[in-house]
Structure 1
Amino acid sequence: MIQLHQGGPDTSHPLAYSVHSAEDIRGVLDSIARGPQHQARAGGKIRVAVANPTPERMEVAARIAARGVPHDGPRGVWFTPSPPEQGKCAFLFPGAEIRRPRLGELAAQLGFAPPGDIQDTSDPLSEGRRVTEASTLLDHALQRLGVNPDARMGLSCGEWAALIAAGGVHDASRILDRNHVGLRCPDCVYLAVPRDAQALHAVLVHEGLQARVFISHRNSPLQSIACGPPPDVEVLRCALATQGIAATPLDVRSGFHCPAYEPYVDEALAFLGLRGRAPLQEVWSCVNARPFPEDPDGCTRLIRRSFTEPVDFDKTIRNMHAAGYRTFIDLGCGSLAQLIGEILACAPHVSTALAHHSRDGASSLQRAVLALWTSHRDVEPDALDKLSPSNPDPRTSRTCHEFQD
């Protein structure tokens, strides 16, 4: 009745149990109590997984399983009482994130140079480059584990990273070159507002700011981002504060994704050498909430639009869900997984983040693998055994090898 997987020599040593029916739940609890000495046939409907199973955590797992309510990761335990709706899988590439993942050890394990960890605030591309390096590393690691996407998508500069990973740009060397600096941008700042875009627009109109401050990101029903000159954005922040809305200034200055960047677009495309080509795999754009076109000129035109038109992450995720996507893997510290939880709150889906600011990369990956396995996705709990540089996966995409080189 019970199948037990015990992890290999990684940092988490997970345990994962699978049973066939609700009547077998007592067996799950007994096995957790007795330890890893029982095995049985595979294919169970009910799944329990425990990361780094201490006695205390095993007891928590037993209590969670006894309640019979789905549990997705808090306290290092995952539990599903029945298989969730399956569907296609998407890798999500974040834009700038406040918290940075710890990936140095994982990069060394895979034979990669570690992602850059120092941000030059005078260079508007530095944070984007760091995030691109980190997310491309995690994309490579997932494929080595045998987890392959049906599509990729990215938020803001993460869209470039998604295109790079899918072979959708002719040459990524200038984007990834940490020494290639000097991109000109307008003097614009960003403000994260915990409201949807419609509510934020109403405030901009009320304050007479709609011609100078623009909505650059429609992220979710609970978050939008405004962009504009610092004095005007400060007026907006104060106006929101009088309504009891605490908006957060972001440590990014580029002017991307709003009309203020229009005079700089041609120069930026030439500076970055950004020319699109048909991606080798589907990539969704947050400009029009649809996949990138298959012709190079259409791809380049959409890249150009991304500099001056808002990011519509909310609509893109809804359209992907309507197209059959049910598994969303955040190749970052969880900002996109949180937004997806807000967008698809009551819709069937699984979203998990691959990295964490306070855990090493392998440990974070292990937790993501357990989340996917418990949700009946096509990955084994001990998949991290495949992450040795001497055990290359022939399915790994060519673009990831190009990034490694």
Structure 2
Amino acid sequence: TLGELLPDLDAASLDAVRAAFTDQLGPEAPESAIGLVPNLAASRLANRLDLRGPAYTVDAACASSLIAVDHAVRELASGRCDVVLAGGVHHCHDITFWSVFTQLGALSPTERIRPFHRDADGVLIGEGTGVVVLKRLADAERDGDRVYAVITGTGVASDGRTASLANPDSGGQVRAVRQAWAAAGLDPAAPDSLGLLEAHGTATPAGDAAELATLQEVFGTRGEAVLGSVKSMIGHTMPAAGIAGLVKAALAVHHGVLLPTLHCDDPHPGLARTRFSTLDTAKDWDAAVRRAGVNAFGFGGINAHVVLEQAPGRPQPAAVVREPERVLRLAARGVDELRDLLDAPGTPPIGEGPVRLGIVDPTEKRLALARKVLTRGRPWRGRNDIWFADRPLLGPGGGKVAFVFPGLESELALNCGDVSRHFGLPWQHADVEVGDVGRQGTAVFELGRLLHAALGRLGVVPDAVAGHSLGEWTAMAVAGVHAQGEVDAFLAGFDPDALVVPGLAFAAIGAPAPKVTEELAGRTDVVLSHDNSPNQAMICGPAAAVAALVTRFRDAGIVAQVLPFRSGFHTPMLRPYLGPIRDAAARFTLHPPRLPIWSATTVAQYPAAEADVRELFVRHLLEPVRFRPLVRALHAAGFRAFVQVGAGQLGSLVGDTLHGEEHLVVA
């Protein structure tokens, strides 16, 4: 007991600790037993969704969710069900779980999960939920459903007698895989049988070796195919691992894109004895029939395999969602009054006052959590879809609003056609690729202008603007420093390839800028380019040198990743290529800004003198982005709400920088 572990604690202290733990628990209700009676998870879904067919939980360790799919396929084939939801959930990180996996030696001591790498040494645990909707193909086509893939065969088999539960037997895996391909009516060893094998790929030495032996025996060596493991991206999600692999494979089949397996730069020797290879970058999947297999092998010797292929070609309807969420909004003059409103029978009135509460989809569980939030009396911003403020953050509260514009990021989603159509604003950059620096930068710039204009029409206006990297130029444009016509003319005549510096690479490092700078001490080839947040910085330099530093950081247990950019932005290495930018800076007509602009180069407001503005416009590209100090300076100046105006994860950098302090990020 806690008292035995800490005998110096008196009874009052023990009661305080016990109350603190109890306070974190949910309300006492039948639903609280889900953790003790696993089938209640499925039963609760059936209850809420009014599903009248079989509803049960499958326990087959790491193969659970793929075996759930096998059960679903059989339910559909028998005609007992017309639609089945099958999936897996893993949100369990209790001390017993970690203790067992540590004793088994299954966790990676180097804190990296590297499926099919020569030096793979164990798993990292992930969390997640995955669910697929399964129907008979004819029914789905009749109903006009979007069909991502068609399951043509499933197989399940056990290892039988082995040396121990911890040593997988490839014989049981082989039986499951062959069973699935027999059900599909296909020969797995045919050269064109499949283009992707989404492996179980736990990155344990014994697991990877057994799985590679299975692949060699079943699929042979004729033909070529890609081997993937989603665990390299999200970790091992235990009972949800199979459904994660199935979802990844179905999306690959649907979109015709084969995805990389991360951290497999030095493959396991057994891979060379198969027809499979891993990818380090995504590539198009061109095949007469895109077909994949998915493995999920459970601890203790239970194995499952699914065969799936692309759906018959036909136009797919656009997905339309028409389910407005219920939102409970309450306001009062004080917390006690707000609590009374929340507890009032029937539909409570909205009320008036500065103390506010908002609950999206106010279920009993969320209402119970909201009561706890009110008891604590501290602001609660968005977790579990609950919002509470005991005093105004903006307006009467004195806080100001800053719009922050993103720059280039390694992921780019420009899904803003609906915004453009709704407001009648121009947009024409839907096909830009990450890594195409000039064109991506132009698209990011135009997106910032589009969203700023749309927010303005909704009456949402900032007290100041700022940007990250090229986002600072967007901030200047929306503030009116440069006339829109001049900017448009420059973009129309600008050659994006002129800003690509050959041979350079960027890398993101999961460490503070001072620590990264310390590692770079004495070097001139690689420099710090971005101070993004307390836990992220970026470096730039020759590709080989950057790759070597990434390896060094990873060896020290620090997350590091080479990024798909070659621009040299925010480093002295760009200086020889700045002719077009210098010409533009000198040519642009400058206008007084309509809004204050803050610079991530100087960590201050933009200067007033024209010569200083032109000089900073260029200097911005040669010096590091100091976004973390900029956010801190904005907060010190009274800015409390930060609105990300663009795509990407910039808002998370703000949240990381201001963690524990009063602020709001909207992204």
Task: Give 2:535's aligned residue.
Answer: 222
Task: Give 1:153's aligned residue.
Answer: 466
CA distance in 1, matches of 2:377, 2:636: 29
From the superposition, tell whether residues 69 and 101 of structure 1 become closer, same or farther in structure 2 (CA, over 3 Å): farther
CA distance in 1, matches of 2:494, 2:640: 39
Contact 2:498-2:577 at 8 Å conserved across structures: no
> Which residue, out of 335, 346, 358, partners 1:34?
346
Check if 1:196 corresponds to 2:512. yes
User: Partner letter of residue 211 of structure 1?
Assistant: T
Task: Give 2:580's aligned residue.
Answer: 267
Contact 1:276-1:297 at 8 Å conserved across structures: no
Listed one character per residue, the Cα deviations across residues 45-89 of structure 1 (whole Å, up to 9, x for unaligned) are: 321123465676566545544554422123332112333452222
Contact 2:585-2:614 at 8 Å conserved across structures: no
CA distance in 1, matches of 2:454, 2:371: 31
Task: Give 1:23's aligned residue.
Answer: 336
What displacement does 1:319 show? Answer: 2.0
Q: Secondary structure, in 3 states, of the residue corresponding to 2:545?
A: helix
> Which residue, out of 71, 83, 87, partners 2:399?
87
What displacement does 1:101 show? Answer: 5.2
Task: Give 1:391's aligned residue.
Answer: none
Task: Give 1:117's aligned residue.
Answer: 430
From the superposition, tell whether residues 78 and 215 of structure 1 become closer, same or farther in structure 2 (CA, over 3 Å): same
Task: Give 1:322's aligned residue.
Answer: 636
Task: Give 1:181's aligned residue.
Answer: 496
From the superposition, tell whether residues 298 and 179 of structure 1 become closer, same or farther in structure 2 (CA, over 3 Å): closer
CA distance in 2, matches of 1:30, 1:178: 63
Q: How many residues align?
A: 338
From the superposition, tell whether residues 346 and 61 of structure 1 become closer, same or farther in structure 2 (CA, over 3 Å): closer
Task: Give 1:71's aligned residue.
Answer: 380
CA distance in 2, matches of 1:226, 1:131: 22
What displacement does 1:147 show? Answer: 2.1
What displacement does 1:294 show? Answer: 2.2
User: Partner letter of residue 146 of structure 1?
Assistant: G
From the superposition, tell whether residues 273 and 185 of structure 1 become closer, same or farther in structure 2 (CA, over 3 Å): farther
Check if 1:50 corresponds to 2:50. no
Task: Give 1:339's aligned residue.
Answer: 653
From the superposition, tell whether residues 49 and 291 of structure 1 become closer, same or farther in structure 2 (CA, over 3 Å): same
CA distance in 2, matches of 1:274, 1:15: 53
CA distance in 2, matches of 1:166, 1:75: 36
Task: Give 1:169's aligned residue.
Answer: 482
Unaligned runs of 5+ in 1: 1-8, 354-405
What displacement does 1:172 show? Answer: 1.2
Q: Secondary structure, in 3 states, of the residue corresponding to 1:218?
A: strand
Contact 1:276-1:296 at 8 Å conserved across structures: no
Listed one character per residue, the Cα deviations across residues 93-139 of structure 1 (whole Å, up to 9, x for unaligned) are: 01123252532212211112346232245742222222222222221
Contact 2:331-2:338 at 8 Å conserved across structures: no
Listed one character per residue, the Cα deviations across residues 211-237 of structure 1 (whole Å, up to 9, x for unaligned) are: 111111111211111011111111111
What displacement does 1:25 show? Answer: 3.0
User: Partner letter of residue 593 of structure 2?
Assistant: P
Comparing both chains, which one has the higher relative contact order based on Cα–Cα distances under 8 Å and sequence gaps of 6 or more?
Answer: 1
Task: Give 1:133's aligned residue.
Answer: 446
Q: Secondary structure, in 3 states, of the residue corresponding to 1:311?
A: coil
Check if 1:237 corresponds to 2:553. no
Task: Give 1:349's aligned residue.
Answer: 663
Contact 1:334-1:352 at 8 Å conserved across structures: no
CA distance in 1, matches of 2:566, 2:587: 20
From the superposition, tell whether residues 309 and 10 of structure 1 become closer, same or farther in structure 2 (CA, over 3 Å): farther
What displacement does 1:17 show? Answer: 1.3
From the superposition, tell whether residues 327 and 122 of structure 1 become closer, same or farther in structure 2 (CA, over 3 Å): closer
Task: Give 2:620's aligned residue.
Answer: 306
Task: Give 1:373's aligned residue.
Answer: none
CA distance in 1, matches of 2:549, 2:587: 34
TM-score by length of 1: 0.75
From the superposition, tell whether residues 49 and 20 of structure 1 become closer, same or farther in structure 2 (CA, over 3 Å): same
Q: Secondary structure, in 3 states, of the residue corresponding to 2:624?
A: coil
Task: Give 2:456's aligned residue.
Answer: 143
Task: Give 1:398's aligned residue.
Answer: none
Contact 1:276-1:299 at 8 Å conserved across structures: no
What displacement does 1:246 show? Answer: 1.6
CA distance in 2, matches of 1:245, 1:276: 46
Check if 1:281 corresponds to 2:590. no
Q: Secondary structure, in 3 states, of the residue corresponding to 2:461?
A: coil
CA distance in 2, matches of 1:256, 1:47: 44
User: Partner letter of residue 38 of structure 1?
Assistant: P
CA distance in 1, matches of 2:445, 2:327: 29
Unaligned runs of 5+ in 2: 1-321
From the superposition, tell whether residues 111 and 258 of structure 1 become closer, same or farther in structure 2 (CA, over 3 Å): same
Q: Secondary structure, in 3 states, of the residue corresponding to 1:211?
A: coil
What displacement does 1:180 show? Answer: 4.9
Listed one character per residue, the Cα deviations across residues 190-220 of structure 1 (whole Å, up to 9, x for unaligned) are: 1111112110011122xx6x21111111112
Contact 2:406-2:467 at 8 Å conserved across structures: yes
CA distance in 1, matches of 2:552, 2:587: 38
User: Partner letter of residue 616 of structure 2?
Assistant: L
User: Partner letter of residue 294 of structure 1?
Assistant: A
CA RMSD of aligned residues (A): 2.8
Task: Give 2:213's aligned residue.
Answer: none
CA distance in 2, matches of 1:72, 1:236: 38
Contact 2:468-2:627 at 8 Å conserved across structures: yes
